[in-house]
Amino acid sequence: MRCGLIGERLGHSFSKEIHQQFGKYGYDLIELAPEELESFIMSGDFDGLNVTIPYKQTVMQYLDEISDLASEAGAVNTVVNRDGKLTGYNTDCGGMKMLIERMGIDLKGKKAFIAGSGGTSRTAAAVCKSLGAKETVRASRSGRNGAVTYEEAYRICSDAAILINTTPAGMYPDTDSVPFDIDRFDNPEGVLDVIYNPLNTRLIQKARQKGIKAENGLYMLVGQAVLSSEFFTGTKADEGITEKIYQSLLEEKQNIVLTGMPGCGKSTLGKMLAERLGRDMIETDEVIAREAGISIKEIFAKHGERYFRDLESEVIKRYAVRNGLVISTGGGAVLRKENVDALRMNGVVVFIDRALDKMKPSSDRPLSDDRSKLERLYEERYAIYKEAADIIVKTDGTKEDSAERLWEALQ
158 and 188 in a single domain? The answer is yes
Confidence of residue 367 (pLDDT cuts 50, 70, 90): confident
Q: Return d(Cα 42, Cα 245) in angstroms, integer.
A: 32
Residue 223 lies in a domain: no
CA distances from 159 to 120, 149, 162, 192, 357 (A): 22, 16, 9, 16, 52
Active site residue 56: yes
The CATH number given to whatever domain includes residue 334 is: 3.40.50.300
* pLDDT tens, residue by residue, 200-233: 999 999 999 999 999 999 999 999 999 999 999 9
Q: Return d(Cα 127, Cα 114) in angstroms, integer.
A: 11
Q: Return d(Cα 102, Cα 27) in angstroms, integer.
A: 28
Nearest partner of 21 among 241, 195, 216, judged by Cα: 241
Residue tagged active-site, from 56, 97, 110, 253 = 56
Residue type, 225: A
31 and 60 in a single domain? The answer is yes
3-state secondary structure of 50: strand
Give the pLDDT score at 273: 98
Number of Cβ atoms within 10 Å of the Cβ of 276: 12
**What are the residue ranges of helices labelled H in 104-133?**
119-130
Range of the domain at 33: 2-90
Q: At which of 64, 90, 116 does a domain end?
A: 90
Residues 6+ apart with CB under 8 A from 321: 172, 173, 175, 198, 342, 345, 346
Q: Return d(Cα 328, Cα 78) in angstroms, integer.
A: 41
Q: Return d(Cα 319, Cα 323) in angstroms, integer.
A: 9
Contact 261, 269 (CB under 8 A): no
Residue 228 lies in a domain: no
The reported pTM is: 0.90
Residue type, 223: G
* pLDDT tens, residue by residue, 291-306: 999 999 999 999 999 9
* pLDDT tens, residue by residue, 240-275: 999 999 999 999 999 999 999 999 999 999 999 999
Residue 221 lies in a domain: no
98 and 85 in a single domain? The answer is no
Residue 241 lies in a domain: no
Q: What is the spatial order of strands in the sheet that 65-66 belongs to?
A: 26-31, 2-7, 48-51, 78-82, 85-89, 65-66
The CATH number given to whatever domain includes residue 73 is: 3.40.50.10860
182 and 119 in a single domain? The answer is yes
3-state secondary structure of 298: helix
Residue type, 32: L
Q: How buried is 349 (Cβ within 10 angstroms: 0-12 exposed, 13-18 middle, 19+ buried)?
A: buried
207 and 270 in a single domain? The answer is no
Number of domains in the chain: 3
Given a cut of 90, is residue 316 above it in pLDDT? Answer: yes
3-state secondary structure of 321: coil
63 and 115 in a single domain? The answer is no
272 and 343 in a single domain? The answer is yes
Residues 6+ apart with CB under 8 A from 304: none
Residue 191 lies in a domain: yes
Number of Cβ atoms within 10 Å of the Cβ of 367: 17
